[in-house]
């Protein structure tokens, strides 16, 4: 058995201080871990306890610099950590217990992975001296001590720490890897005896000499010049912005480039808000939930500059050339930090691996040199303004409708009218995500957080809590369906305990509405997708649930009540759940999703209304 120093008594600490000169200073891994995190500037750790990680919790209690945010479900903790990383622009830290703690968190960690969100997951594990004995709670059916393998497909790297003296450098590598290149979560899986093992403090201290931020790869000048020349020679260039713009902190550089060359900008779901939606050159979101005008502009482009996007299926209408992108004849220049994404689904003329902040700075230098006075495209600006006005006019009746249950368009319009420009908005999946992508203007870059890649129902409500912890100065609102809210209501306990003033707007259609509309369209039934009791629509009383947790809860009864209720909730600066009944109308789709060809080949059906 290993030499352990779990919770050493005061006398032992005194002995350690009075050690013989020349012998190395020792401390437990858990205490040094907390010191390390403090030194890195970590301010919050999200998580949930278990017998494997209490040494870390006990050390965290003593920290003046780090706050542990306690949750009631590891998925909640992981989504909070995800929202926190998105809102802070840094790497978040998640602490879990072994096996069920680790698997509970897996959905949240995978969600972060698919959206390239940096996160260090620290999990307790079975003691090293019990490897192979199948101790309590171990995932032990087909392999020994290998719970960390469960995370392999989605984390950038999974370490199992087998030796206390290697822990410090593993930790350092974990942070470096999570935040560099294409960001994403990593797992550091720590057998519980290692948390309590003595380690030479010098092993942690030497890490202080190591830089905590790496210089990122830029675009060389000849390539930047070649790219700008192609765009200047193009007849119908389009810039296609992905979430990588936000991850690289490149929204200012993007704006400078777009303003100088007046290139219209289409964006992915994750790229929403890369430029404000009221910028004159923003076309909007492409793909299945994009509008026809936007998809047509992309199809008709002769050159597209894709920045920080993986050209995902939903954004690209399942890559079918009749709908959104048509490469070739359209030619593609693709810049991304991850070489694996370049050329994945479309052929590229020029591909470059670079950090987008650096790349856009290089492109701006090249553009100013080649065309010092910039380019003007008044017709493009006019066409975009006309298309935008037409869309708003076409939506006006719905966006101002007094019907109750409310039209989803009206809910979104009222939310936008009520929120300050810089409010942070978290969506879940359903109308809230697809409808927001299509028709909810984001007015400040980096203020919309949505589960893009994994499309995790249950993300939005807890992610908003994490965002508010990171940015207490901002108004934070979660737009979430009744299905999504029902996944993680236990996050309300954390909201109450920690006074995290998020407002959750539940767009409640008494159904997994998006899927109900899909099943109805293809199979003529809503079986298994709607909530009912004895044949009548059913919803739990979410406002009462909120109140039971100690959180304000409001049930809306008319469309006119909603906007003022939201304004009051924001003003109160307290957590508040607003439950709004909503018709189950599908988000209009102009693009395509290939699943339609699986269910209804040859027929152009998408989703249909299932009413209210």
Ligand X SMILES: Cc1ncc(C[n+]2csc(CCOP(=O)(O)OP(=O)(O)O)c2C)c(N)n1
Chain residues in the site for ligand X (CB under 6 A): 428-431, 455-458, 481-484, 507, 509, 511-515
Q: According to the binding rule CB under 5 A, does residue 586 interact with Mg ion?
A: no
Helix ranges, 89-136 (H):
100-114
Q: Which of 357, 427, 509, 610 binds Mg ion (CB under 5 A)?
A: 509
Rounded Cα distance between 49 and 147, Å, is: 17
Q: How far is the CB of 458 from ligand X (least distance, A)?
A: 6
Among all residues, whose Cβ is closest to Mg ion? Answer: 481
Q: Which of 74, 315, 341, 482 binds Mg ion (CB under 5 A)?
A: 482
Q: Taking CB within 5 to 8 Å according to partner kind, which of ligand X, Mg ion, none is near residue 431?
A: ligand X
Q: According to the binding rule CB under 5 A, does residue 336 interact with Mg ion?
A: no
Residues 385-420 as b or e (16 or more Cβ within 10 Å = b) = eebbeebeeebeebbeeeebbbbbbbbbbbbbebbe
Q: How far is the CB of 403 from ligand X (least distance, A)?
A: 17
Q: Taking CB within 5 to 8 Å according to partner kind, which of Mg ion, ligand X, none is near residue 428?
A: ligand X
SS (H, E, C) 185-254: EEEEEEEHHHHCCEEEHHHHHHHHHCCCCCCCCCCCHHHHHHHHHHHHHCCCEEEEECCHHHHCCCHHHH
Interface with Mg ion (CB under 5 A), residue total 6
Q: How far is the CB of 436 from Mg ion (least distance, A)?
A: 15
Q: Taking CB within 5 to 8 Å according to partner kind, which of Mg ion, ligand X, none is near residue 456?
A: ligand X
**Which residues, 6 or more positions from 170, have their beta carbon under 8 angstroms from its beta carbon?**
159, 161, 188
Query: Given the complex with Mg ion, which of 175 and 562 has the nearer CB atom?
Result: 562
Q: Taking CB within 5 to 8 Å according to partner kind, which of Mg ion, ligand X, none is near residue 387?
A: none
Q: How far is the CB of 431 from ligand X (least distance, A)?
A: 4
3-class state of residue 499 by DSSP: coil
Q: According to the binding rule CB under 5 A, does residue 513 interact with Mg ion?
A: yes
Q: Which of 127, 452, 481, 575 binds Mg ion (CB under 5 A)?
A: 481
Q: Which two tokens stand for residue 557?
A: 């009864």
Q: How far is the CB of 481 from ligand X (least distance, A)?
A: 2
Query: Given the complex with ligand X, which of 91 and 610 has the nearer CB atom?
Result: 610
Residue 211 near residue 225 (C-beta atoms within 8 A): no
Query: Given the complex with ligand X, which of 503 and 507 has the nearer CB atom?
Result: 507
Q: Taking CB within 5 to 8 Å according to partner kind, which of ligand X, Mg ion, none is near residue 288?
A: none
Nearest to 530 by CA among 596, 578, 483, 488: 483
Q: Taking CB within 5 to 8 Å according to partner kind, which of ligand X, Mg ion, none is near residue 124?
A: none
Rounded Cα distance between 42 and 474, Å, is: 20
Q: Which two tokens stand for residue 3?
A: 């030499």
Q: What is the CA radius of gyration of the chain?
A: 26
CA 82: distance to chain centroid? 6
Query: Given the complex with ligand X, which of 100 and 472 has the nearer CB atom?
Result: 100
Give the binding site for Mg ion (CB under 5 A): 481-483, 509, 511, 513
């Amino acid at each position: 058995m290993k030499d352990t120093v779990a919770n050493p008594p005061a006398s032992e600490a005194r002995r350690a201080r009075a050690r013989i000169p020349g012998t190395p200073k020792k401390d437990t891994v858990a205490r040094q871990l907390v010191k390390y995190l403090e030194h890195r500037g970590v301010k919050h750790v999200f998580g949930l306890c278990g017998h494997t990680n209490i040494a870390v919790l006990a050390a965290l209690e003593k920290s003046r610099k780090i706050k542990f945010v306690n949750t009631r479900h590891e998925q909640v903790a992981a989504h909070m950590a995800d929202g926190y990383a998105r809102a802070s622009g840094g790497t978040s830290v998640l602490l879990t217990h072994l096996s069920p703690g680790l698997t509970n968190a897996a959905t949240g960690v995978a969600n972060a992975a698919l959206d390239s969100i940096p996160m260090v997951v620290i999990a307790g594990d079975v003691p090293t001296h019990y490897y192979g004995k199948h101790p309590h709670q171990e995932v032990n059916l087909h392999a020994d001590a290998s719970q960390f393998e469960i995370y392999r497909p989605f984390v950038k790297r999974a370490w199992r720490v087998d030796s206390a003296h290697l822990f410090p450098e593993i930790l350092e590598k974990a942070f470096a890897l999570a935040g560099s290149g294409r960001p994403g979560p990593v797992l550091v899986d720590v057998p519980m005896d290692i948390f309590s093992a003595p380690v030479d403090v010098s092993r942690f201290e030497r890490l202080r000499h190591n830089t905590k931020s790496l210089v990122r790869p830029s675009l060389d000048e000849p390539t930047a010049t070649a790219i700008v020349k192609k765009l200047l020679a193009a007849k119908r260039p389009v810039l296609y912005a992905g979430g990588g713009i936000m991850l690289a902190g490149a929204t200012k550089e993007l704006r400078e480039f777009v303003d100088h060359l007046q290139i219209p900008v289409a964006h992915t779901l994750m790229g929403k808000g890369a430029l404000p939606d009221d910028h004159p050159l923003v076309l909007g979101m492409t793909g299945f939930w994009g509008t026809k005008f936007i998809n047509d502009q992309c199809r008709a482009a002769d050159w597209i500059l894709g920045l920080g996007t993986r050209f995902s299926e939903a954004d690209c209408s399942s890559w079918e050339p009749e709908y959104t992108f048509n490469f070739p004849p359209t030619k593609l220049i693709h810049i991304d930090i991850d070489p694996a994404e370049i050329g994945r689904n479309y052929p590229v003329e020029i591909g470059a691996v670079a950090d987008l902040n650096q790349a856009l700075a290089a492109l701006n230098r090249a553009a100013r040199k080649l065309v010092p006075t910039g380019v003007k495209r008044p017709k493009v600006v006019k066409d975009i303004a006309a298309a935008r006005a037409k869309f708003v006019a076409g939506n006006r009746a719905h966006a101002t409708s007094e019907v109750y249950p409310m039209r989803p368009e009206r809910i979104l319009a009222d939310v936008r009218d009520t929120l300050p420009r810089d409010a942070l908005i978290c969506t879940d999946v359903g109308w809230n995500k697809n409808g927001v992508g299509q028709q909810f203007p984001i007015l400040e870059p980096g203020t919309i957080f949505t589960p893009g890649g994994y499309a995790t129902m249950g993300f939005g409500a807890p992610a908003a809590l994490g965002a508010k912890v990171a940015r207490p100065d901002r108004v934070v609102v979660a737009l979430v369906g009744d299905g999504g809210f029902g996944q993680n209501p236990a996050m309300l306990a954390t909201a109450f305990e920690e006074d995290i003033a998020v407002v959750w707007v539940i767009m409640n259609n008494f159904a997994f509405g998006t899927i109900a509309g899909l099943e109805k369209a293809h199979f003529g039934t809503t079986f298994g997708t709607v909530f009912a009791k004895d044949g009548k629509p059913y919803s739990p009383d979410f406002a009462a649930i909120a109140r039971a947790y100690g959180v304000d809860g409001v049930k809306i009864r008319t469309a006119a009540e909603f906007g003022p209720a939201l304004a009051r909730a924001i003003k109160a600066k307290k957590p508040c759940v607003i439950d709004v009944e909503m018709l189950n109308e599908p988000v209009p789709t102009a693009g395509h999703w290939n699943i339609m060809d699986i269910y209804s080949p040859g027929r152009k059906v998408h989703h249909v209304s299932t009413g209210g």
